[in-house]
Every structure is written in structure tokens, then in C-alpha cells.
Amino acid sequence: MNKKLGLSFVGLIALGVLSACGGNEQSAANEQEEPLQIMTTFYPMYDFTKNIVGDEGDVELLVPSGAEPHDYEPSAKDMAKITDSDAFVYHNENMETWVPEASEGWQEDEPAVIEGTEGIALMPGDEEGHDHDHDHDHDHGEEGHSHEFDPHTWVSPQMAAKEVNSIKDQLVELYPEREEAFESNAEDYLSQLEDLDQDYTDTLEDAKQKSFVTQHAAFGYLALDYDLNQVPISGLSPDEEPSPSRLAKLKDYVADNDIHYIYFEENANDKIARTLADETGVELEVLNPLESLTDEQMDNGEDYVSVMEDNLAALEKTTSVAGEEIEPEDEEGQEEEDEHTVHNGYFEDDEVKDRNLSDFSGEWQSIYPLLEDGTLDQVFDYKSKLNQDQSAEEYKEYYETGYKTDVDDIKITDNSMDFIVDGEQHKYDYDYKGYEILDYEGGNRGVRYNFEAKDDNAGEFKYVQFSDHSIEPTESSHFHIFFGGESQEDLYEQLDNWPTYYPEDMTKEEIAQDMVAHE
């Protein structure tokens, strides 16, 4: 009797344990299947994310339809929506300028933050102008002065695809259990973007007129990726009628450049359209930057792909008609003037000043490993599209020779340099030995600042020269370095190899961004 009771008791316990395990497994399954709540900032982020997430979550749009994302500031209610979400997807701080400050008050991973352009280098912004100041100590140049970045990547299907991949990768990292769905959804959507890109390529590769005139410089990435020339005109608004003097000037500009279309970001009102058409003979067309769609557009099923197809049709009205390259207003001769600067290697001898080793002090990393691991590939792609003189592969081969070095890091103080090769240190004290001005075949010039090790046994680090696009005392932001054991004169002949160093605390993505932004 007791034995039977004991067996029954054991059976009940076992049944309870099995039930508990089954309940836990079901609870975990339910938790996994619970849809994610994802908040996105403005329309492209919403559309990209929605296509990746699919049935795995609910994707919401923060910036109201028809609103201007550039001017948007979140309300307290908006902030609550963000922090109640599982994930928050934004483009980058150059577009949503409020995000860095706002996110400081969020708890870690509440929400998880996804930056759409993570790992994507941006072009310099056109609003602040494009500063081409460079000092060439060889036949290339990267750096100039800092300026804002152009956030409008999504207007190019090629860049849109990169951003979709970036968002997808970050979602997979956050929610690995949903990887299969995210990858499958993204693959389907990227196929649509690939078809869109092909449509743009097929339509624009043989453009008879490559210049298109816009109300605002929002289409730089599209122009770069499809070999077009964006020509922005200032002082035009879809909401305000131009002044008589502006109309007179615009009339001359349109006539001089045989312009048939000016592209607005949204439909201008009828009065302005009639005024511009009557006074200048030009037609107005819409080139939608897709920063926002109206409720009506979304209700009608319009989306990123369909609007971009409309943009292509609008562009084709200009590109299908032969014409000369259109010059920006009031900029004739400006390009040559801008290029002939001190930083580009145009200066007088008496402008060059002595410098101390302290100008280069700090801990520095070679960017050669970034070339080897592919981080700089987007830099070479950008240079190729911008300059149209070499392929991205040819640029990479050129810089492979230029950046190559076995010195991984350099630590510099006011009077010493420590060259680190495979973990081994080579540290010596140095004296300043003046500078040398070099003249180049291209007509520009460079300056080498010379230092010599006090130790006669310094070997290949006996003679050292710096070039950093400056000709007077200033703290260096990066530099090219030349070193050898023969003489300073021997180093002056070294023009094909210029190992380049950036601050040790910069990430490789920050370095790539810096190089693109100042190309």
C-alpha cells in the first residue's frame, strides 16, 4: 500500500516537472513571437525598416507625414513613444540633429538605438560650401577643413541599399533569433532596389545633358552615383514668389544656359509656377527628396521605390535633351581661385615658417591596415566617382603603394619619437633640422619638416620628415611621414610612398569619414 502511494506521488511530481518545463518553453516561444515595437524617425527610415522587419514587428513613423524632418523637434509625448519602443531607428545626427542630446537621457537599450548610416562615409555638405583646401606633398590629397556632412544618402538607390544592409545587420545583432526573417525580407527588398538602380543606370548612363538645376542641393549622392551634375539655385522657394530683381537675374541665367526645367522639392503653388514660367520660359518639375510623404500618398500605395521611379521620369525630361554643361550661378572662375590656396600647395617662400616636433605630438596609428581590411574601399569608390580619372580598384592599388609601412604606431613627444614595429619599440630623441620646399610637376608645391635623431645608431629612423598640409606652426590632425637612414636629401626623392597616420583614438570608420568629407 505504501509502495503504491509512493509511486503515485513520484508520478505526480514528474508530471508537475514536465508541465513546468513545457510551460517555460511555451512562455519563451510566446516571448520570441511577440512582435517588436520599432520607432523610426522620418519616411526613408520607416520604409526601409518596415521592409526588413516585415511580420516580425510593428514599425511606426515619428515625424508626421508631410512635415519637414530638418526642422522637427520631438515633443514629450514623442519622447515617450521612443523610450517605450524596443528599438529606435534614425538616419544620422546630421539629419536628426536632436538625437545625440535626447539619447543622453535614455536608459541603456531602452530603446536599442540603430543608426542607419553606421559605417557609411558621408559627403561634405553643400549648405556650408565644399572646401577643397589641400596641401599636396605628392599627387594626392585627402584633408582640408572640417564642415558639415550631407545627410541625403537615400536619394541614391545605391546608397539606399547600403543603408538597408546597415539597418538589417544591426537588427540581426540585436535580435539574432529573428535573423532568418530579417535576412529573407531584406533580400527581397534589396532585389527591388537593385532593379531600381539598374533602371537609373540604363536611363542615365547615356544622358545627353548631365546637368540638372534644383531649388536645393539635396541630390548630391544621386548625381555622384549616376554621373550627373547637380546645379543648385539659391533664393527659390515653392511658397514665396521671387522678387523682381531675382526674376530678372534668373531669366538671364536660364537663357544663357538654355535651361528648360528647374526642379523643386515639392509642387510649387500655381501662382509661383506661372510667374517663373512666364518670366523665364522655364518649366517646373518635382524632384522629391523623399524626406516625407503625405498621408494621401501613402494611402495610395506610394513608397520609396515608386517615388524614386517618378523622380527618374522627371530627370529624364532634362537628360534626354542635348545641352552644354550648366555652370552654377556667379561661380565662373571660382573653381580655379578656390584651388590655388596655400593648402593646395600654392604659396610664396616667405610664407613658410619653422615648426617644432610638438606640432606632431600624440599617439598615432597607421591607416595602412584600414586599406588592407577594406575600410577605405568606400573612400576609393568616392574618389573614383568624383574625379572620374581612375577606377576604385586603380585608386586602391595606388594607395597600396603610398600607405604601405611596417610601422604600426608612432608615439611622439616634444622631443622624441617612438616607432612601433610588430610590438617592438624604436625610440629616439630628435633635433629639428629646418624645412625643404619641394616643387612638383603639377605646378603646386609641398613642404617637408625635417628632424634628425641624436643617436647615430637610429638606423632607418635616423632621418625623419613630416608633411601635413600646413606651412606654419599648428597642431597636426594627421600627417604623412618619411624616414630613412641615408640622408634628408635622399628622402626628398621619396614621392611614391608616404605612410599616413591618424590619431590613435579615432575609429577606422571615423577615419574613412574624415577622408571622404575632405576629399
Please tell me whether residues 272 and 391 are part of one structural domain. Answer: no
pLDDT digits 0-9 by tens, 452-492: 999 999 999 999 999 998 999 999 999 999 999 999 999 99
Sign of torsion over alpha carbons 210, 149, 164, 69: negative
Cell numbers linked to 262: 528647374
Query: What's the pLDDT at 271?
Result: 67
**HSE-up of 430 (CA within 13 Å, CB side)?**
32
Query: What's the pLDDT at 156?
Result: 98
Please tell me whether residues 319 and 239 are part of one structural domain. Answer: yes
Identify the domain boundary among 335, 357, 372: 335
Query: What's the pLDDT at 331?
Result: 53
Please tell me whether residues 324 and 355 are part of one structural domain. Answer: no
Question: What are φ and ψ of residue 202, in 5° steps?
Answer: -60, -35
In a domain, 48, yes or no: no
Contacts of 505-514 with CB under 8 Å at 24 or more apart are 505/363, 506/365, 508/370, 508/373, 508/375, 509/118, 509/119, 509/121, 509/375, 511/367, 511/370, 511/375, 512/121, 512/370, 512/375, 512/376, 512/378, 512/379, 513/121, 513/122, 513/149, 514/142, 514/143, 514/478
CA–CA separation, 344 and 354 (whole Å): 19
In a domain, 329, yes or no: yes
Beta carbons of 125 and 149 less than 8 angstroms apart: yes
Identify the domain boundary among 335, 368, 392: 335
In a domain, 287, yes or no: yes
Please tell me whether residues 383 and 455 are part of one structural domain. Answer: yes
Q: How far is CA 171 from CA 52, 116, 408, in A?
A: 9, 11, 34
**pLDDT values of the chain reduced to their tens digit, one per residue, 519 residues:** 444 444 444 444 444 444 444 544 444 444 457 999 999 999 999 999 999 999 999 999 999 887 888 888 999 999 999 999 999 999 999 999 999 999 998 988 889 999 999 999 999 875 443 333 333 344 443 333 333 799 999 999 999 999 999 999 999 999 999 999 999 999 999 999 999 999 999 999 999 999 999 887 889 999 999 999 998 887 666 666 778 888 888 888 888 888 899 888 865 555 666 777 788 888 889 999 999 898 899 999 999 999 999 999 999 999 999 888 887 776 544 455 557 888 788 999 999 999 999 999 999 999 999 999 999 999 999 999 999 999 999 999 999 999 999 999 999 999 999 999 999 999 999 999 999 999 998 899 999 999 999 999 999 999 999 999 899 999 999 999 999 999 999 999 999 999 999 999 999 999 999 999 877
Please tell me whether residues 272 and 414 are part of one structural domain. Answer: no
Please tell me whether residues 501 and 412 are part of one structural domain. Answer: yes
Beta carbons of 82 and 62 less than 8 angstroms apart: yes
Please tell me whether residues 299 and 388 are part of one structural domain. Answer: no
Q: How open is the CA angle 79-81-83, to the nearest 5 degrees?
A: 70
In a domain, 251, yes or no: yes
Sign of torsion over alpha carbons 25, 26, 31, 35: positive
Query: What's the pLDDT at 131?
Result: 36
Please tell me whether residues 217 and 317 are part of one structural domain. Answer: yes
Please tell me whether residues 498 and 416 are part of one structural domain. Answer: yes
Please tell me whether residues 364 and 330 are part of one structural domain. Answer: no
Sign of torsion over alpha carbons 355, 445, 332, 322: negative
In a domain, 178, yes or no: no
Please tell me whether residues 321 and 363 are part of one structural domain. Answer: no
* CATH number reported for the structural domain that contains residue 505 in this entry: 2.40.128.20
In a domain, 418, yes or no: yes
Maximum distance among all Cα pairs of the chain, rounded to whole angstroms: 112
CA–CA separation, 266 and 260 (whole Å): 18
* CATH number reported for the structural domain that contains residue 238 in this entry: 3.40.50.1980
DSSP notation for 442-502: TS-EEEEEEEEES-TT-GGGSEEEEE-S-SSS---SSEEEEEESS-HHHHHT--S---EEE
Identify the domain boundary among 335, 367, 388: 335
Domain that holds residue 498: 349-517
User: 224-244 in b/e burial notation, b at 16+ Cβ within 10 A?
Assistant: bbbebbbbbbeebebeeebee
Nearest CA-CA partner of 44 in 128, 151, 197, 125: 151
In a domain, 230, yes or no: yes
Please tell me whether residues 227 and 322 are part of one structural domain. Answer: yes
In a domain, 21, yes or no: yes
pLDDT digits 0-9 by tens, 118-131: 999 999 875 443 33
pTM for the model: 0.83
Question: What are φ and ψ of residue 452, in 5° steps?
Answer: -130, 135
Query: What's the pLDDT at 479?
Result: 97
How many structural domains comprise the chain?
Answer: 3
CB-CB neighbours of 409 under 10 Å: 16
pLDDT digits 0-9 by tens, 257-280: 888 998 888 655 556 667 777 888
